[in-house]
Amino acid sequence: MCIGDVVVVADANAIRGRYYIAKVMEVFPGNDGRVRKVALQYRNCTAGTTEYKVSKPVTIIRAVQRLALLVPVDGEGQIRC
């Protein structure tokens, strides 16, 4: 995991079928140098009857085991293929 990666957050308390797409904002490596936790930022979106509302960004810290990497980014901010 690197800063800027886009991930899907698997949350045990979330409503079934509802997942958050988040961006990695900060990484926290363990004693061995491997990334164990990351700080993520996402926005809650709700669809109303006539308009689509977006809330302020939410920041959470999660273990990398609870994430699925969607779009990896290299150290220079470019998308890796």
The answer to whether 40 touches 25, Cβ cutoff 8 Å, is: yes
pLDDT at 58 over 60: yes
**From CA 10, how far away is CA 40, in angstroms rounded?**
12
CA–CA separation, 25 vs 47, rounded Å?
26
Least confident of 9-13, 34-38, 47-51, 60-64: 47-51
Supply the pTM of this predicted model. 0.75
Q: What is the pLDDT of residue 81?
A: 46
pLDDT averaged over every residue in the chain: 81
Identify each DSSP E strand in the chain by its residue range.
6-9, 20-29, 35-47, 52-63, 67-71
Do 27 and 17 touch, CB atoms closer than 8 A?
no
Range in 21-25, 30-34, 47-51, 64-68 with the lowest mean pLDDT: 47-51
The C-alpha atoms of residue 26 and residue 62 are separated, in whole angstroms, by: 11
